[in-house]
Amino acid sequence: LSLREFQNAQTMIFAIEEINNRTDILPGVQLGYKIYDSCESVEITTRATLSLVNGNGRNTSEISCSKRHSVHAIIGQTSSSPSIAIAVTVGSLNIPV
């Protein structure tokens, strides 16, 4: 994880916590997040994406792809190759990346 990626993650966490702590921004809505370090690897990115949408972080070999996902959006990396892998992986699920 690079310093830039770490700073981006910290900024996202701060923003989500601020939104969740204020009742005037999104009343009745609680935002969440999971952060994965893909090590700039397309393979690791794809595995993490499948794990996220199929099993809430569990190993993808242990779960069924038929489970309904609760992921509403995925924020990709700042580099394009892993982000493209995410978009291709979840494209048919209509999850914005």
92 and 56, same domain (yes or no): yes
Please report the pLDDT score of residue 21 as a whole number.
94
Whether residues 45 and 78 fall in one domain: yes
User: Looking at the 3D structure of the chain, how many domains does it have?
Assistant: 2
Q: What number is the average pLDDT over the span 66-83?
A: 69
Alpha-carbon distances, residue 11 vs 16, 36, 76 (angstroms): 9, 15, 14
45 and 86 both lie in a single domain:
yes
Stretch 57-80: mean pLDDT: 59
Whether residue 90 sits in one domain with residue 50: yes
Mean pLDDT of 62-72: 53
CB atoms within 10 A of CB 38: 22
Alpha-carbon distance of 57 to 65, in angstroms, equals 13
For position 64, what pLDDT does the model report?
Answer: 47
Round to whole Å and give the CA distance between 7 and 57: 22
pLDDT tops 70 at residue 25: yes
Domain that holds residue 70: 34-97
